[in-house]
Structures are given as C-alpha cells and as structure tokens.
Amino acid sequence: MVARLLLWWRVLRSLVRARGIVSWDEARPLLNLCLSRLWLRDRSRVGGTQEAGSRNGNLPPALFQMATGYWLSQAVYVAAKLGLADWLRDGPRSCQELAAVTGTDPRCLFRLMRALSAARIFVHTQGDHFALATAGKSLQRDAPGSQRAIIMTLGEVHYQAWGNLLHSVRTGSTGFASTFGTSLFAYLQSSPEAADTFNRGMSDVASMLAYAVLLAYDFSRISFLVDVGGGQGQFLRTILQLHPEMRGTIFDLPSTIEQARQYFSGDPCSSRIAAIGGDFFHSVPEGADAYVLCGVIHDWDDDPAVQILRNCRLAMNRKGKLLLVEVVVPDDDAHCFSKLLDLNMMVMTGGRERTRAEFTALLNTAGYRLSRIIPTLAPQSVLEAIPS
C-alpha cells in the first residue's frame, strides 16, 4: 500500500511540474501505464484469475500456442499497415466500407478483424461491423502512446530477419544480414521508407519510456544533458518538458539529425535543444553534466560498446555521469522480456542484452564505476555510472 501511494505521488508531482507544458493526451498513457502495473502487481499477489467457463473452446497445448505466436503478430501488423484503427476512429464501420478505403477483399478483411476481435484489438458489434477496442486505439497513427509505427517495423524488417534465427545461432552472425545482405543501420541508410517507419517507431517507444525514466530518476541536478544516439529526439524532448531549466543536445548520424531538426521545428523546447550530427565511434559533444544512452549499448557487442562508452567518458566534465537506459537480464530462470529481446539483438544487430555482472565488467573496461541500478515502470532500468 505504501509503495502504491509513493508511486502515485511521483506521478502527480511530475504532472504538476509539467502543467501547461505537457497535455492531458500526452500524460494519459503514463497514467495507464501506472494503473496497469499496479493492477498486475495486485493480481499477482492473489495468484491471478482465469476466465471461467470455456467460451472460446479448449485451447491447444501451450507449446503449440508459442509456435503459432507469429500468426497473431502478423495479424496485428496487417491491421497497423492498413490503418484500420484510424478508419474506425469515429465509430463502428462495416467491412464493406473498410475494404473499399483500404483496397482489400471484404470477406478476408472480415476474417482478419474477427480474429483480432478475439484478441481484444477490435470489437465485433454486429454483422460485418467492427469497432475499436481499447487496445486497438494504440494502432492509431497519431494517438498518444501510439504503437503503430513500431508494430509496422516489427512486422516487416524484424519479421523477415527472424526467419533466419537459425542462421544466427549456427554462425554467430546476424539473421538480418543474411536476409537483407547488409547490416540493419546500412539498410536503413539506403531505404528511406523503412528508415522513416523505424525512426517513428523508436520515437513512440522513447516517448513512453522517457516518462517511466522520469518517474524513477531525479534529473533536477542536471543542467546540460546529451542524448547520445538520440534519434529524432523524442526522449530528450520529454525530459526537457518536465525540466524547463535544462538544456540538451541530440547526437546521432547526420541523416537522422536532419529529421530531428524538422521534427523539432516550432517546438516550445527547441530553443533549449541543439541537434548535432556525427559518429559516436569517433567522438561525442563535450562538456555535459550527464550523457544518456537509451537503448544504444544493447545494439553492439562488447568491443564497439566499450568504444562508445570511452568516447562519452572523454567528453564529460569532471563530475559528469553516464546514464544507460537498458534492460538488465536476471541471472535466474525467471520469465522476462529481456531474454527474448536479447535474441532480437542477436538477429538484428549482433548486439546483446546484459546481466548486472556483464554491465559492471563493460563499464569497468570503459573507465567507469557502476554506482546504482534504478528500476522503472518499464522493462528498462536506469544504470548510473561515474568515471572511475
């Protein structure tokens, strides 16, 4: 009970500080995240509940359900790609109407939406009419907390690369390179459409993750923050919204920085944000109080990761801090997202997720001491390190 009250206090305190800067639509996904976490916590204490009866018939064996998981993931991807949630924004519509505006076969579209209604993405109202369920609202293009772009990139380049997981396990090289003939980042440089979807997906994830990080970590003593590998800058923007006294710099590849500058055009925080292009394997902007790398280090194996971290070490001021926002793999056999995410990094980039001991060793090699690990409401934690 005390932990729950403290969590709510931190949420409300952050929203009060952001009054007039963060809109209710932006804050609502954060509150939903908190409610979901508290609900799951309470549910686990009582051992969970199971729907009574057998409304949907007997389920197949659990292992078979795992093996067919991509059926559902691809169905969700197709719904995202077709923009069905946007067409249902104003209320229920028939499959005939939806097929006409999406260029699909109405009978096949009905079967897709019926299956996704069973997954609580849509609601089958009557006949061939469907409406949006609560979960389906996150498939809308511009909805707060939208997951449409990330689901599209997962359903396209990730899905194809994962078809070569066996290749990765056998050879130690990425399934992505085996599929596309080049690395993920080189492919994105050469494919503007895929890069746009990927970057928008990363920005949507970064926005919600930033709220979770803000609730867990105190940024009040940081006046100048550099977001290394910051993409289009959504993570940094969210932090600066809640800390109007802070200034920041986004640092990423020049092509990504051009997109970031367009994204920030006219933003209230733009006067406090610099956008600098470069290569973090060579150097990063100097003189910041803290350097944050959100989901960057897991993209790389140990040697390139150490090079990035050393460049941050060389750039920071004498009392600077390093903040890594990453999942931490537990040492036991606990079921957790980090272990599947680790496979994704193996397939996509050749990177890895790490345990606490592995992070400690990595940081020591790069000239840091791990000072603390702070859990957040998200799967990621904040790893704070200082120069050793």
DSSP state, residue 173: S
CATH code for the domain defined by 69-139: 1.10.10.10
In tens, the pLDDT along 136-184 reads: 999 999 888 899 999 999 999 999 999 999 999 999 999 999 999 999 9
CATH topology of domain 163-387: Rossmann fold (3.40.50)
DSSP state, residue 154: I
The sign of the torsion formed by the CA atoms of 24, 30, 34, 35 equals positive
Domain boundaries, the chain: 2-38, 69-139, 163-387
Report, as residue numbers or ranges, the catalytic residues.
Answer: 298
Token pair for 42: 């309470």
C-alpha span between 118 and 198 (Å, rounded): 28
Average pLDDT over residues 319-343: 93
In tens, the pLDDT along 245-281 reads: 999 999 999 988 988 887 777 777 888 999 999 999 9
**Within 13 A of 377's CA, how many CA atoms are on the CB side?**
27
Q: How many CB atoms lie within 10 A of CB 136?
A: 25
* Confidence tier at 78 by pLDDT (50, 70, 90): very high
Those residues whose C-beta lies under 8 Å from the C-beta of residue 315, and which sit 6 or more positions away, are 226, 283, 284, 285, 286, 287, 288, 291
Nearest to 251 by CA among 296, 220, 212: 296
C-alpha span between 347 and 167 (Å, rounded): 9
Task: Tell whether the model's pLDDT for residue 113 goes beyond 90.
Answer: yes
Task: Tell whether the model's pLDDT for residue 369 goes beyond 90.
Answer: yes
| Range with the poorest average pLDDT among 31-40, 59-68, 131-140, 174-183 | 31-40
Instruction: Sheet with 122-126: list strands edge to edge.
Output: 93-94, 129-132, 122-126
**Mean pLDDT (the chain, rounded):** 88
The reported pTM is: 0.84
| Range with the poorest average pLDDT among 8-22, 110-124, 241-255, 360-374 | 8-22
274, containing H or E segment: strand 273-277
What is the three-class DSSP state of 180? Answer: helix
